[in-house]
Structure 1
Amino acid sequence: MKKILIVMIFITFLSNISYGQVVNKDEYSEARALVIKANDPTEKNGERIQLVKLKILEGKYENKIVKVKHIIGEETTLVREVKKGDRVILSIDKRDKIVNIYISNYGRREYVYYISIIFILLLLVIGKKKGIKSTISLGLTILAIFKILLPAILKGYNPIFITVAMCSFITIITMFMVGGINYKSISAIIGTIVGIIIGGSIAIIVGNKGHVTGMSSESASMLMFIPQEVEFNFKYILFSGIIMGALGAIMDVGMSIASSVEEVYKANKETSHRKLFLSGMNVGKDVMGTMSNTLILAYVGSNIPLLLLLMAHGNTVPNILDLELIVVEIIRALSGSIGLIMTIPITAFAASFLICKEK
């Protein structure tokens, strides 16, 4: 427990470091609001306009009642027609001493909280003691990403170096908390970190050979205009995302192999190093196919609209494979799968060697 507290204090300390300029809050801010009343939309000059009465729920204008002309379908808004009881995000523009308020988005965080609570409750009820450890390690992982990894990249540090270091940190904390400080966890850590490095290295090599720029997504392009004025290496940011995206599946495989080797050893403590290694490999072969499919299907599933759009316009498969946006996803899926596959023999060897050494 003391170790967990030390890690949390360390993360809290780093989270208080300043990471550059922020948007001037005197000119622009956002606030959540509750829709009290929403009139039916009316047509005016080709636009659908809705008069909306709102109660601001936070910030400088908390509890203030405002009336807003909501233009439905306007390019500057991400919402459609709103209804009474909806929670929305208001954009408040205070430049030139004129306060302009308009609806910019729906408020969705409550539903994120609900599903998160359900997830944590199931983790605690079914996992019990290990569920508690898993919850704590998950919390530390989220804190590390949002309080250390992303701010450090935003400050201009090398994304690949920071991501590898953070992945190693997350792996060590998670494995030791879930599996305990023992040879099983150490084996899983070795296999996971080496697998991540192999998968990441392949992604970097193939990406460089394929002249990947890292600018294929809209969000990457928008990073050029952030107020911090950081000169990003977008290719490195892309590779760091690939490494981070593969971590979960590779960590899962690493712990599965190490646990299976330990169970075989517990069943027969006279089992040789070779037999323990082969047992781990046999389990790994079964896990390998399903986990590789998991990575590939996850990336394909997130890009179905794009693939449909390309095919609808008559693009052939060879033409599609020349597009950077598609190549990036293929590299992401396959490099992660290669890292996952390499984790199996590495973890099996490490686990069988260390457990035999313990005997």
Structure 2
Amino acid sequence: MARAPEGEAAQHPEGEVFRARVLEVKETTGESAVQDLVKTSQLITVEILTGPLKGKKIEVPNATTGNPAYDLHFQPGDQVILWAEMENGRLRDVFISDYARDRYTRYLAIAFILCLFVIGGRKGIKAVVTLGITGLAIAFVLLPLLLKGYNPIGVTVLVCAAVSALTFAVVGGINNKSIAAIIGTTGGVLVAGLLAFAAGTAARLTGFAEEEAAMLLYIPQETFFDFRGLLFAGIIIGALGAVMDVAMSIASAIEEVKKANPSAGRLTLVRAGMNVGKDVMGTMSNTLILAYTGSAIPMLLLFMAYQTPLLKVINLDLVATEIVRALAGSIGLIIAIPITALTAGFLINRPRKRRFVAKKYPEAPASRGRIKQAEVPEPDGWANYPRPNNLPHR
């Protein structure tokens, strides 16, 4: 557990964020405080596009130091984000915070949704709905509860179980296939979380491997955080998507086998599910490993450039955290395969209850007023009714 030090909580300046368009850029060159670098100062004229100052044109200075990690270079027509401090409705101070990138991410999101609609059809529409449900659950349930200091692992497991249940119910309907996928997903995620907790505790992972975790010490809410719990919660969420994919693939395959061969028994269905799971297992495990490796490429390049000894690398808190994250998620994915196969084989092969079908008898002749129910003939009277030609007459 950790808490922000007394009196050291970060105080954010009161201000507003606006979108603006660059109209004109004037560049001047001067000597840099950094050796052998040239400092460029830009005087940028922008037009505010949002907020109460919409349409107002102002000039904003923009200094660069030659460091590409921090420098921003603008051209006329660029859209930028302004951070402005207001006082009595007037601008007190303003600077350019960053490029406006949301337009391009919005275009990419639209392309993603169109691909789902065109290729997936109704299933694609359902996928968009479930994606929205997942986003709402994270934004309005998971994160607010974590910010209030609730147990990270417990909250995350409950949210993941609810998200998986809603996702499978919307995509596949409420049936045995979805129930089997939910059980398999929940089991796999729980295993991943428990393994991460056990390995992380034994390896004494701190939960401060990322800079953002340390910054939580200074938030104004002064919340007590279980940083190890946050680490394990992140591992559970990271494994959820891959485990859901595997569970639904296996449950769907078993259902299709049962439809194609109604006489298939439980053992046959379980074997079919395990075969599908074994094929998916290798690729999905690689997916998790490659996803975590892809986010750590700059760090790995640093280790290689400075020829850091392997013994030191694998014992760093940051590296050990990523190893535990990848391996725990992969093991949870693997465990979800037999759980889903066994559950789906049992549920999908359950015998259905036969419905009683009433025998149809000749209709009673129509009569005025109230319609009388046709009388069922006595057994001795069956001989008076017409019978098929291929049956012997009694």
Taking structure 2 as the reference length, the TM-score comes to 0.82
Instruction: Give the equivalent residue in structure 2 for 1:150.
Output: 143
Residues 17-63 of structure 1 deviation map (CA, whole Å, 9 limit, x = unaligned): xxxx99777x2222221111112342256432100001112223222
Instruction: Give the equivalent residue in structure 1 for 2:181.
Output: 188
Instruction: Give the equivalent residue in structure 2 for 1:327.
Output: 320
Instruction: Give the equivalent residue in structure 2 for 1:12.
Output: none
Q: 1:233 aligns with which of 212, 226, 240?
A: 226
Q: 1:59 aligns with which of 32, 44, 51?
A: 51
Provide the aligned length of Structure 1 versus Structure 2. 337
Residues 205-224 of structure 1 deviation map (CA, whole Å, 9 limit, x = unaligned): 10011111111111111111
Question: Per the alignment, in what secondary structure is the counterpart of residue 40 of structure 1?
Answer: strand
Instruction: Give the equivalent residue in structure 2 for 1:29.
Output: 16
Aligned-pair distance for 1:328? 0.8
Aligned-pair distance for 1:140? 1.0
CA distance in 1, matches of 2:312, 2:31: 45
RMSD: 2.1
* Aligned ranges 1:90-129 → 2 under 5 Å: 90-94=82-86, 99-129=92-122
Query: Does residue 216 of structure 2 align to residue 203 of structure 1?
Result: no
CA distance in 2, matches of 1:358, 1:112: 50
Instruction: Give the equivalent residue in structure 2 for 1:318.
Output: 311
Runs (5+) with no aligned partner, structure 2:
1-8, 34-38, 353-394
Query: Does residue 35 of structure 2 align to residue 43 of structure 1?
Result: no
Point out the structure with the larger helix share.
1
Instruction: Give the equivalent residue in structure 2 for 1:3.
Output: none
Query: Does residue 279 of structure 2 align to residue 273 of structure 1?
Result: no
CA distance in 2, matches of 1:287, 1:356: 23
Residues 132-172 of structure 1 deviation map (CA, whole Å, 9 limit, x = unaligned): 11111111111111111111111211111111111011100
Question: Per the alignment, in what secondary structure is the counterpart of residue 174 of structure 2?
Answer: coil
Q: 2:73 aligns with which of 65, 76, 81?
A: 81
Question: Per the alignment, in what secondary structure is the counterpart of residue 357 of structure 1?
Answer: coil
CA distance in 1, matches of 2:195, 2:85: 46
Answer whether contact 1:38 1:83 (CA < 8 A) is retained: yes
Answer whether contact 2:181 2:247 (CA < 8 A) is retained: yes
Question: Per the alignment, in what secondary structure is the counterpart of residue 59 of structure 1?
Answer: coil
Pick which of 103-112 and 86-95 moved more: 86-95
Answer whether contact 2:10 2:218 (CA < 8 A) is retained: no
User: What amino acid is aligned across from residue 276 of structure 1 in structure 2?
Assistant: L
* Aligned ranges 1:277-296 → 2 under 5 Å: 277-296=270-289
Aligned-pair distance for 1:358? 4.0
Residues 90-115 of structure 1 deviation map (CA, whole Å, 9 limit, x = unaligned): 12234799711111211111111000
* Aligned ranges 1:296-307 → 2 under 5 Å: 296-307=289-300
Q: 1:71 aligns with which of 49, 58, 63?
A: 63
Taking structure 1 as the reference length, the TM-score comes to 0.89
CA distance in 2, matches of 1:74, 1:109: 26
Pick which of 283-292 and 32-41 moved more: 32-41
Residues 68-100 of structure 1 deviation map (CA, whole Å, 9 limit, x = unaligned): 11111399x944211111111112234799711
CA distance in 2, matches of 1:22, 1:173: 38
Q: 2:216 aligns with which of 218, 223, 227?
A: 223
Moved over 4 A (4+): 21-25, 94-98
- The higher radius of gyration belongs to 2
Instruction: Give the equivalent residue in structure 2 for 1:18.
Output: none
CA distance in 2, matches of 1:34, 1:60: 16
Question: Per the alignment, in what secondary structure is the counterpart of residue 75 of structure 2?
Answer: coil
CA distance in 1, matches of 2:111, 2:32: 47
Pick which of 224-233 and 203-212 moved more: 224-233
Question: Per the alignment, in what secondary structure is the counterpart of residue 69 of structure 1?
Answer: strand
